[in-house]
Amino acid sequence: MGAAPAVPDAEAHGGSGSADHILATLAETMGPLDARPHYSPLVLAGLARATEFGLLCATGVLVHLAYVVPQVGYGLAYDVAIPAMAALAILVFQALRINNVAAFRAPIYQGFRIAGGWSLVVMAALGVIFFLKLDATFSRVWMVGWYGLGLGALLVERGILSIVTAHMTRTGRLDRRTVVVGGGPAGAALLEELSKQQNTDLRICGVFDDRTDARSPDVVAGYPKLGNVDDLVALARHTRIDLIIFTLPITAEQRLLTMLRKLWVLPIDIRLAAHTNKLKFRPRSYSYIGSVPVLDVFDKPIADWDVVMKTIFDRVVGALALVVLSPLLLAVAIAVKLDSRGPVLFKQKRYGFNNEAVEVYKFRSMYVDKLDFAAAKQVTRDDPRVTRVGRFIRKTSMDELPQLFNVVFKGNLSLVGPRPHAVHAKAADRQYDDVVDGYFARHRVKPGITGWAQINGWRGETDTPVKIQRRVEHDLAYIENWSLFFDLYILLITPFALIKTENAY
pLDDT, tens only, 352-389: 998 888 999 999 988 888 887 766 677 777 788 989 99
Give residue-wise pLDDT tens across range 429-470.
677 877 788 888 999 999 999 999 999 988 776 778 888 889
| Angstrom distance (rounded) from CA 48 to CA 100 | 9
Contact 451, 416 (CB under 8 A): yes
Torsions phi, psi of 183, nearest 5?
-95, -155
Strand partners, 207: 180, 225
Lowest mean pLDDT of 7-11, 128-132, 171-175, 374-378, name the range. 7-11
Task: Answer with the residue of higher pLDDT: 180 or 16.
Answer: 180
pLDDT at 433: 77
184 with 246: CB under 8 angstroms? no
Higher per-residue pLDDT: 3 or 207? 207
The domains found in the chain, sorted by start residue, are 19-36+175-298 (3.40.50.20), 41-170 (no CATH), 305-497 (no CATH)
Q: Which pLDDT belongs to residue 281?
A: 58
Alpha carbon 169 to chain centroid, angstroms: 18
Nearest to 305 by CA among 41, 110, 15, 11: 41
Least confident span in 62-76, 155-169, 310-324, 418-432: 418-432
pLDDT digit string, tens, across residues 224-261? 888 888 889 888 888 888 999 998 876 677 888 888 88
Residues facing 223 on adjacent strands: 220
E strand or H helix at 358, and its extent?
A: strand 357-363
> Which pLDDT does position 117 carry in this prediction?
95
Percent of the chain with pLDDT over 90: 41
Q: Are strands 219-220 and 223-227 parallel, antiparallel or unpaired?
A: antiparallel
Helix 305-339 / helix 41-63 crossing angle, nearest 10 deg: 100
What is the pTM assigned to this prediction?
Answer: 0.83
How buried is 174 (Cβ within 10 angstroms: 0-12 exposed, 13-18 middle, 19+ buried)?
buried
Burial annotation 107-141 (CB, 10 A radius, 16+ → b, else e): beebbebbeebbeebbeebeeebeeeeeeeebbee
Alpha helices in 361-483 (DSSP H): 388-395, 403-405, 432-435, 452-455, 465-480
Task: Tell which residue, 283, 361, 289, has the closest CA to residue 318.
Answer: 361
Which residues partner with 270 through β-bridges? 244, 298
